[in-house]
Chain A
């Protein structure tokens, strides 16, 4: 009998790969997230009267709110796919560490969120002639914020799909815990759009990094407790 040699990174890659391959084919999740994002921006447009003056101060807030909402859609769906057809059991039956499942799912969730951001941001820039969001610093904050949001979101979605109230529960669990990452991202990216010197956005940036490190590490360590029985 051949002895299987599963490796942690191969398993992480396999999970992320199959999520992306399935999504590339069905595009269910991404199209839902994108349409939803556009609707949110549309509503903000009229609710906030996004004229030139207002825009300067709320661009970061509008974008992050949009991404946070769209993100919960994606997180919920991505974990429900595993749960509904028993695929989670299939993942758990593989002879790899359970945290590989966490990283695999987190990577594909992050990829979905980044794709949505990569489409929404140029659209927003075009609609409102807001070119200041195309800065390396802005995109860096976007990445850091998304990592933090997705890492805690992936953990919580694995919990919420196992409850009776799963569809409504994820945002309720996720938003209060993700307040720091959302607010720090808004503060940092808002500062960049407003053209503040780099020193002024250093404080929220540091907190963003602290949050990412703490929550990535914690999620990695306690994911096992969320999926065991």
Chain B
């Protein structure tokens, strides 16, 4: 039984501290936005979770390719970890976005490119888990998962571009004049700092969660192995 690596423990502590600091920056340090008021503070975590969500999906697609080339099961665990953690973060992003959208746009949900793409991406990765659940054999599950993660990674950006042809009201984050009219805002220096603190904190948290999930995958496999030994 391998014990928890030291570096991972350090990472855990760092992510707790990081999220604490980011919370402070978002709720206290950052100035209140003039038009939208306090609800805009949700933005810092919204961007933080969206960022790691997106990174995770790119990581998943890339590790899918690496798995197909190397056939090394470690990459499969990497891919599952990335998709699982990102699916969760992306869900949080969507919820936080809704909370922000309610006062800003006067609606919980709107079929804007970013929102729709987020929803479609989330559906792709739910389908990913359903696909995996339907396959018994680990090697085939890994292979199909990798193929689907790759397809999902390819289609998401095109989805975004297509939906942009329909309409958009989502603020382009760092505002132009027209963005401001749609609920965007100009970021002051303190706001920018808070945003980057949040990005950093979530990145650390993401790496730490990924690591935990990869370890869990390894342990799961070990359990299966032991079960097999007992039954023989």
Residues of A within 8 A of B (CB): 152, 155-156, 159-160, 162-166, 169, 172-173, 175-180, 183-184, 187, 203-204, 207, 210-211, 214-215, 218, 222, 225-226, 228-229
For the residues of B in contact with A, the DSSP-based class is helix
B54 in the interface, Cβ–Cβ < 8 Å? no
B161 in the interface, Cβ–Cβ < 8 Å? yes
CB-defined contacts of A169 to chain B, threshold 8 Å: 130-131, 134
Please state if A222 and B147 are interface contacts (CB–CB under 8 Å): yes
A226 (CB) vs chain B CBs: closest residue? B147
B73 in the interface, Cβ–Cβ < 8 Å? no
Between A and B, 15 residue pairs with Cβ closer than 8 Å are A155-B151, A165-B133, A177-B151, A177-B152, A179-B159, A179-B162, A183-B163, A184-B165, A204-B165, A211-B155, A214-B154, A218-B151, A218-B154, A222-B68, A229-B140
- Contact pattern, B 140-155, Cβ under 8 Å of A = 1, otherwise 0: 1001101110111011
B124 in the interface, Cβ–Cβ < 8 Å? yes
CB-defined contacts of B121 to chain A, threshold 8 Å: 176
Residue of A152, A179, A203, A207 with most partner-chain B CB within 10 A:
A179
Task: Looking at the assembled complex, report how far the CB atom of A105 sits from the nearest CB atom of chain B, in whole angstroms.
Answer: 16
CB-defined contacts of A203 to chain B, threshold 8 Å: 165
Please state if A180 and B131 are interface contacts (CB–CB under 8 Å): no
Task: Looking at the assembled complex, report how far the CB atom of B202 sits from the nearest CB atom of chain A, in whole angstroms.
Answer: 25
B13 in the interface, Cβ–Cβ < 8 Å? no
CB-defined contacts of B133 to chain A, threshold 8 Å: 165
For the residues of A in contact with B, the DSSP-based class is helix
Residue of A166, A176, A214 with most partner-chain B CB within 10 A:
A176
B128 (CB) vs chain A CBs: closest residue? A173
Task: Looking at the assembled complex, report how far the CB atom of B163 sits from the nearest CB atom of chain A, in whole angstroms.
Answer: 7
A203 (CB) vs chain B CBs: closest residue? B165
State the CA gap A210–B134 with chains docked (Å). 31
Please state if B166 and A179 are interface contacts (CB–CB under 8 Å): no
Please state if B162 and A165 are interface contacts (CB–CB under 8 Å): no
- Contact pattern, B 177-192, Cβ under 8 Å of A = 1, otherwise 0: 0000000000000000
Please state if B155 and A177 are interface contacts (CB–CB under 8 Å): yes
B135 in the interface, Cβ–Cβ < 8 Å? yes
Please state if A152 and B151 are interface contacts (CB–CB under 8 Å): yes
CB-defined contacts of A159 to chain B, threshold 8 Å: 131, 144, 147-148
Please state if B123 and A204 are interface contacts (CB–CB under 8 Å): no
B163 (CB) vs chain A CBs: closest residue? A183
B133 (CB) vs chain A CBs: closest residue? A165
CB-defined contacts of A222 to chain B, threshold 8 Å: 68, 147, 150
Question: Which of A166, A176, A204 has a CB less than 8 Å from the CB of B162?
Answer: A204
CB interface residues, B 81-133, toward A, < 8 Å:
120-121, 123-124, 127, 130-131, 133
Task: Looking at the assembled complex, report how far the CB atom of B92 sits from the nearest CB atom of chain A, in whole angstroms.
Answer: 20
A166 (CB) vs chain B CBs: closest residue? B134
**A207 touching B154 in the complex, CB below 8 Å, given contacts A164-B136, A225-B143, A226-B147:** no
Please state if B120 and A179 are interface contacts (CB–CB under 8 Å): yes
Question: Which of A162, A166, A180, A229 has a CB less than 8 Å from the CB of B155?
Answer: A180
Please state if B136 and A184 are interface contacts (CB–CB under 8 Å): no
Please state if B161 and A163 are interface contacts (CB–CB under 8 Å): no
**A214 touching B144 in the complex, CB below 8 Å, given contacts A169-B131, A222-B150:** no
